[in-house]
Chain A
Amino acid sequence: MTIEELFRQAKMNRDMLYEGRITHVLVGTATCGRAAGAMAVLEAFRRETAGSGIDVRVTEVGCMGLCSQEPLVIIIKPDNLTVCYHHVTPQIVHQLVEGYILGDDPCLDLALGTVSGGDGSPVIIPELESFERQQRLLLRNSGFNSPLEIDHYIACGGYAGLANALKSQTTQVIEEIERSGLRGRGGAGYPTGAKLRACSEAAGDSKYVICNADEGDPGAFMDRVLIESDPHALLEGMAIAGFAAGARQGYIYVREEYPLAIERLQRALAQAAEKGVLGSGILGSQFDFHIEIVKGAGAFVSGEETAMIAAIEGRRSWPDQRPPYPAQSGLWDKPTLVNNVKTLALLPQIIRNGGEWFAGMGTKQCSGTALFALAGKLVNTGLAEVPMGTTLRTLVYDIGGGIRNGRQFKGVQIGGPSGGCLPESLLDTPIDFESLKQAGAVMGSGGLIVMDEDNCMVDTARFFTDFSRRESCGKCTPCRIGTCQMLRMLEDFTRGQGTLQDLDTLQSIAEDIRATSLCGLGRMSPNPVLTTLRYYRAEYEAHILEKRCPARVCKDLTAYYILPEKCERGCDHCVLACPAEAIFSDGQGLKVVDQVKCTKCGSCEAVCPPEYNAVVRLSPVSLVPAGRRTRPETP
């Protein structure tokens, strides 16, 4: 079938869905929605509408990227508003069915806003400020189109990019991508067109395309959301890349920790083969392209392209020296194109709308959009897609809604364990590969984690260094031994040990690792240390010189203390919760923490009723008044 026929058919199927007299309930059931209870909501809708006598269709969709509002539900009612509801529970479902599906009350008190877009234009909630600064290319269908139905994708212009490509010469496709200025979204920002050209011009009959969906940064989940919400965009992008590079086989290397993404990809692959948009003789052309899913077995280093190739070959995921680059000699020594999910998923729109169109967005050096996963202490956590060149401040405040609970902003970590921590003074840095690098961070995968005054920067550097040490593959010495050495020193600092001279030693070890490690992950592993030393040196000094953790996080420098003026005496919550039996009553019934017995587990602080709020953390520990440190000796 030609693309025109497929489109007509898909559009007809979709129009029957949306322009008929049917009410639609879309439930966001991506992994994040499920964790918040979306499956119970889905069940409740199916149950409540089953005997209602009204034609209602309940559909699973992906994620709009509003993680803090999950579970999300969209109700599309003929001749009525399309409304998005948040924090939906099975109890609310009953209300929505009675109110809006059977009745005429759109239950606006439960709504997040109305929904506009769809049909290929980006789906947005115009009432929400966080959408105003966004430009949604990758997320345009997310949370609205069903990832389980290929017709939804085709009806929104899907696979038209591939059809266009197949009518052109491979060189024309590569030129179009070069014109777009697209740079790899996996982190390094290498021009995608140049990579494609190198692979296309490399000698050899067998070539491969690999999609990197390993997303190992702890705190990043954009690729998962894209695959779970709009899997065909990736498949189409891979086929276009395959056509341009001269490859007939593609592999998607996806983390085994993403079972739902794998399931949705498998379903999408089967449907694409059935429609003839993947497989042999795609859309009646001479071009064959097959895609296989390879499940990663959990190793951060597999995100490095040569290490990923080793993993697909069934070996330990060890990186190799480059050159030769995979574009010359990659999988089974054949020319191989390795690209991130986001890079590949952008190709269909670039081919369909032209390179100029894409180059017109973002900045001159970095065209297009950047997709971030916002997490940490923000009001609005979730996904945000903004034009390149947008400032960090816009992301944190306009889209992220600022810091929760009125706390003070302290830093933003971009790019996970390979990235850096940037302070308030750098919030006006524009988001592009060069500016972030200059500030000491990296674009990286797109994980963006915001920290407030309750987070300790020394502990944060320790956390990321511990991650890099655990995940170091061990092949080269600087990374294997260097991360251990850095970790030991950081652990000392969190205990108030070490000297100021150690800070200089730490700096020089970090610089050596950066200069001499074999692969990019090793070279970037000292970034959290280097940036925290650069921007938060005072915090290191407080730990070392004053034995004080300003955020009161580092256990050895912090004491739990019960304020006598706030303790309610009669309430025994803390006493009962303390697993170390460290809390006792003094002569007046006021609770006291025995500092010798206390294991600093935080239970007392968590259970102290908010109306008393008597448990506080003090740092340095010498702030605990002398008379209230231990249980008095009993004769």
Chain B
Amino acid sequence: MDTARKAEIFNEGRRQRRHLIDILQDIQSCEGYLSREAMQEVAAFLSLPPSAVWGVATFYNQFRFTPPGRNPVRVCMGTACHLAGGQLVLEAMARELKLEIGATSEDREFSLERVACIGCCALAPVVTIGESVYPKMTPPRVEEILVQMKPAEGRGKSGDGPT
């Protein structure tokens, strides 16, 4: 985080409890996650015990405590997506990326999350990777998309390709 942005986040006008969530959101949007050090800094800034900051941060779904991948994969598990087979898509993602839900790959290339409804129910099931939205997903399309994203790498099985 650069100094200017930091000064903006920790500005005097926000030295109140009610800005706690706001500050945590800003830090996460800069650094991608909340580090232990960052949360301690927030606690000191707001004169709160670190446990209070940790308690709030862990309560909300938005906050993460490990760095996300460069390509954050989010599989929508809203109602419409579930009814259209979202679970199979999520499982296919986990299998193809060899990642558990909530985890980041060792090379930090991908992370996998499930999210509750991104409000594109007419396009169910939906996956987002970074800013891109992939509508009407199926397990084979998961493979196709990932093949396009990492063309240089050898795929898990020999002999298969996009269908």
Chain A residues within 8 Å of B138, by CB: 602-603, 606
User: In whole angstroms, what is the CA distance A601 to B141 when docked?
Assistant: 13
- A601 touching B95 by the CB < 8 A rule? yes
Of residues B63, B82, B123, which shows the largest number of chain A Cβ atoms within 10 Å of its Cβ? B82
**A324, CB-defined interface residue at 8 Å:** no
Report B's interface with A, CB cutoff 8 A: 16-22, 24-25, 55-56, 59-63, 77-80, 82-83, 85, 88, 91-92, 95-96, 115-124, 126, 133, 135, 138-141, 143, 156-157, 159-161, 163
B92 to chain A: closest residue by CB: A601
Chain A residues within 8 Å of B17, by CB: 313-315
Chain A residues within 8 Å of B159, by CB: 576
CB distance from B127 to the nearest CB of A (A): 11
Report A's interface with B, CB cutoff 8 A: 31-32, 34-36, 67-68, 70, 216-221, 224, 256-258, 294-295, 297-300, 311-317, 373, 375-377, 381-382, 413, 416, 447, 449, 451, 455, 460, 463-464, 467, 473, 573, 576-577, 579, 581, 599, 601-603, 606-607
CB distance from B96 to the nearest CB of A (A): 8
Neighbour of B119 across the interface among A221, A313, A607, CB < 8 A: A221
29 A–B pairs (Cβ distance < 8 Å), ordered by A = A31-B118, A32-B120, A70-B122, A219-B117, A219-B121, A257-B119, A295-B21, A297-B60, A297-B62, A300-B116, A313-B17, A315-B17, A316-B55, A317-B59, A317-B60, A375-B80, A376-B80, A381-B121, A382-B122, A460-B83, A576-B159, A579-B156, A601-B88, A601-B95, A602-B85, A603-B140, A606-B140, A606-B141, A607-B140
Q: A317-B60, A601-B139 are in contact. Are A449 and B83 (CB under 8 A)?
A: yes
CB distance from A277 to the nearest CB of B (A): 25
User: In whole angstroms, what is the CA distance A257 to B80 when docked?
Assistant: 17
Chain A residues within 8 Å of B163, by CB: 573, 576-577, 607
- A31 touching B157 by the CB < 8 A rule? no
- B63 touching A312 by the CB < 8 A rule? no
User: In whole angstroms, what is the CA distance A629 to B9 when docked?
Assistant: 62
Neighbour of B83 across the interface among A68, A220, A451, CB < 8 A: A451
- A218 touching B116 by the CB < 8 A rule? yes
Chain B residues within 8 Å of A573, by CB: 163
User: In whole angstroms, what is the CA distance A32 to B62 when docked?
Assistant: 21
* Additional 6 contacts, C-beta under 8 A, given A299-B61, A375-B80: A217-B117, A218-B79, A376-B121, A603-B139, A603-B140, A607-B163
User: In whole angstroms, what is the CA distance A467 to B143 when docked?
Assistant: 27
Chain A residues within 8 Å of B156, by CB: 579
Chain B residues within 8 Å of A216, by CB: 116
Q: A35-B120, A376-B80, A381-B121 are in contact. Are A298 and B92 (CB under 8 A)?
A: no
User: In whole angstroms, what is the CA distance A473 to B59 when docked?
Assistant: 8
A33 to chain B: closest residue by CB: B120
- B83 touching A376 by the CB < 8 A rule? yes
User: In whole angstroms, what is the CA distance A601 to B139 when docked?
Assistant: 7
